[in-house]
Amino acid sequence: MKKLLLSGLALTVCLSAFAQNTREVQSRLIEKVRNRTAPVTKPSETPIIPLRAANPIVSQSRASMVEIPIGSTVYDLQSNYGSVGNRVKNWGDGTVSAVWTKGDQATAYPDRGTGYNYFNGTNWGAAPTARIETFRTGWPNIGGTPSGSEHSISHTPLNVVYRGTKGTGAWTELPGATSTTPVPAVTWPRMVVGGANGTTMHVIGNENANNFYVTYSRSQDGGLTWDLLNITPPNFAQYHFEGSVDGYDIDSRGDVVAFILGGFSESLTLWKSTDNGTTWTTTVVNEFPLAPWDYNTSISDVDGDGVADTIPTTDSGMSLVIDNNGVCHIAVGSTRVLCEATPDVSYFPGTDGLLYWNETMPAGDITNNLIAVLEDIDGSGVIEVPGFGTYQAGLTGMPSLGVDALNNIHLTYSSLIENTTNGNPDPACEESFRNVYYMYSTDGGMNWANPTRVEGSDFDEMVHPNMAKRVDACIHLIYHKDGEPGNTFQPQTGNCDAPGQVDVIYTCITNPVGLNEVKNNVTMNIYPNPVANILNVDFSMVQGNNVKIEMVDVLGKVAYSQSVTAFGGMNNVKVDVKGLASGVYSLNIVSGNEVTSAKVVVR
Ligand SMILES: [Ca+2]
Ligand SMILES: [Ca+2]
Ligand SMILES: [Ca+2]
Ligand SMILES: [Ca+2]
């Protein structure tokens, strides 16, 4: 196990020594025309990754897993800055839905939209050949309600796509461009479905019409209407000049909902609500010293001596998960920023290190909270790579977090593999590959097991890992894999990346800490039955878990649903049935993949 803060201190010195050497002008946001001045390109500095001391975090073991291709895309800009949204939905009954941005018609991609596939408990469907929408979009998120309806939200202007039954049937579209009711005015959205009854849709995204602020919206009817629309989070302007595209993530658990937002030129900020999005508290997880900073009008001078300073900061690749106790956990990549003359801002893609924080830790400066860095695989004491795809992020990043019923925290990320090459004879185009890693913590994030590399090969580019935030016996993970480092929209130098097929891979990483072999053997006793007022549900299970208590009518409609943190041994839950229509119901206790049912008569 690696102690979080100790490793952070040891590695920081190495980072500052090399971060100065590789430098890249911040490129323009893809597909976005901003009013601000475009950054000027400077002569590139030595594009050689700097040398660094041996990495104390090493792991050459490979996770035991099978790669399952579930789709593909040629369009390869899954994120402008490393983060992707909630793209894998673990339904808790053995089924899984997954989405990604899909477009095959280079280079304008008129066919771009949501690639979708579904695991029915036995098999994935055939790889889709087209998007699920009838119009051009992308950057999807997938969520679902307890009744099994599934909902995707995607890009510009916000599009809601849904259907009543997961895995099957036609999708209904609510394109924001033609909607007669107001919809969130955001692009590159992130969405999670939550709330006490599991039917609230929480959306954040980049609001083009309002200085690119990131705003929050809420729908309690699956996206048909929005009772909170384009809300600027409290204190936003204090810490953010604008919102970084794709530099955010969102999660919910019951009535707790939280989102994070950050980027190389701004603070990393957490907003959290315990009343399903009505009111919010603000935590500045990592404070940017110049925030709110407009790098088009002022240089990066922190100490006021008129000379620009290089500022350690976070990149925009980040993940947030809320654990079983309502505690927020955050992972984010690191980078540095320098602006010596306006308008000209640079970041340092050669900066390495994945940062971690949770709400039990001090906030304000997390730039030393390293939990993962580049691996010195051959033990030479230096990292040997000819170059790399930048993704506008750091070298170890693109994190994705999840949590299981025992409150173990799970993490995947992508990191560069030394001594690999794409074999391109042009030095400007020779690059090493990135692979996906997995690690976990059994003590709430204070100590982490050494990372394990996810199956694949040293000579594949494996990026944008994204796990379902609810982990059971599986870490349900998708990632994107192809034979060329980097993407076609953000080449390192020149244009070295031709459009080509990128595979979307699903894998189940077997949860190494507990849940895999446990069968909970839920038994229950309900009384009185028939019932008119309060139904007592006594149930016992082998080990604690988050379970769902449901009342389902004869038509299959979920009339009542309650999430309960249940303990190993005996539990009692009271269900108020006074609001339910008279009739026969099935009372279900859903624990992971297990459903235990009893018949109830309500009169
Ligand atoms: Ca200065
Ligand atoms: Ca080495
Ligand atoms: Ca690629
Ligand atoms: Ca490349």
pLDDT in tens, 190-218: 999 999 999 999 999 998 777 789 999 99
pLDDT of residue 17: 33
Q: pLDDT tens digits, residue range 548-571? A: 899 988 888 889 988 877 777 777
| Ligand 4 geometric centre to CA of 44 (Å) | 17
CB 426 within 8 A of CB 496: yes
| Ligand 1 geometric centre to CA of 300 (Å) | 7
**For residue 490, which ligand has an atom nearest its CA?**
4
Instruction: Verify that 417 and 562 share a domain, yes or no.
Output: no
Instruction: Verify that 548 and 467 share a domain, yes or no.
Output: no
Instruction: Verify that 80 and 49 share a domain, yes or no.
Output: yes
- Which residue range forms the structural domain that includes residue 199? 3-123+137-510
Residue 221 has pLDDT above 50, yes or no: yes
Place of tokens 């849709």: 201
Among 46-55, 169-178, 400-409, name the most confident range: 400-409
As a whole number of angstroms, the distance between CA 504 and CA 317 comes to: 19
Q: pLDDT tens digits, residue range 113-156? A: 999 999 999 999 999 999 999 999 999 999 999 999 999 999 97
Please report whether residue 41 resides in a domain: yes
Please report whether residue 518 resides in a domain: no
Instruction: Verify that 428 and 564 share a domain, yes or no.
Output: no
Please report whether residue 193 resides in a domain: yes
Residue 260 has pLDDT above 80, yes or no: yes
**For residue 495, which ligand has an atom nearest its CA?**
4
Q: Report yes or no on whether pTM surpasses 0.75.
A: yes
| Ligand 3 geometric centre to CA of 101 (Å) | 14
Check residues 135 and 490 and name the one with the higher pLDDT.
Answer: 135
Instruction: Verify that 387 and 408 share a domain, yes or no.
Output: yes
Please report whether residue 131 resides in a domain: no
Name the pLDDT band for 285 (thresholds 50, 70, 90). very high
The count of domains in the chain is 2
As a whole number of angstroms, the distance between CA 413 and CA 59 comes to: 14
CB-based contacts of 407, cutoff 8 Å, min separation 6:
323, 324, 325, 444
Please report whether residue 494 resides in a domain: yes
**For residue 339, which ligand has an atom nearest its CA?**
1
- As a whole number of Å, the CA-based R_g of the chain is 24
Instruction: Verify that 188 and 310 share a domain, yes or no.
Output: yes
| Ligand 4 geometric centre to CA of 461 (Å) | 10
Q: Which of 510, 533, 563 marks a domain boundary?
A: 510
CATH of residue 305's domain is 2.130.10.10
CATH of residue 538's domain is 2.60.40.3080
**Mean per-residue pLDDT for 71-83?**
94
Taking residue 306's Cβ as centre, other Cβ atoms within 10 Å add up to 7
List the single range of 54-68, 345-359, 393-407, 456-470 with lowest mean pLDDT.
Answer: 54-68
As a whole number of angstroms, the distance between CA 294 and CA 37 comes to: 11
Instruction: Verify that 444 and 472 share a domain, yes or no.
Output: yes
Tell me the C-alpha to C-alpha distance, in Å, between residue 592 and each of 524, 545, 596: 16, 8, 11
pLDDT of residue 241: 92
Please report whether residue 25 resides in a domain: yes
Q: For the chain, what percent of residues have pLDDT higher than 70?
A: 87
| Ligand 4 geometric centre to CA of 171 (Å) | 36
Name the pLDDT band for 504 (thresholds 50, 70, 90). very high
Instruction: Verify that 251 and 329 share a domain, yes or no.
Output: yes
Q: pLDDT tens digits, residue range 22-53? A: 556 554 444 433 333 333 223 332 222 222 22
As a whole number of angstroms, the distance between CA 357 and CA 339 comes to: 27
Check residues 179 and 123 and name the one with the higher pLDDT.
Answer: 123
Instruction: Verify that 210 and 305 share a domain, yes or no.
Output: yes
**For residue 493, which ligand has an atom nearest its CA?**
4
**Mean per-residue pLDDT for 517-539?**
81
Per the prediction, the chain carries an average pLDDT of 85
**For residue 305, which ligand has an atom nearest its CA?**
1
- Paired tokens of 163: 């259907």
Please report whether residue 186 resides in a domain: yes
Please report whether residue 192 resides in a domain: yes
As a whole number of angstroms, the distance between CA 65 and CA 63 comes to: 6
| Ligand 4 geometric centre to CA of 12 (Å) | 28
Residue 21 has pLDDT above 60, yes or no: no
pLDDT of residue 62: 65
**For residue 55, which ligand has an atom nearest its CA?**
2
As a whole number of angstroms, the distance between CA 211 and CA 208 comes to: 6
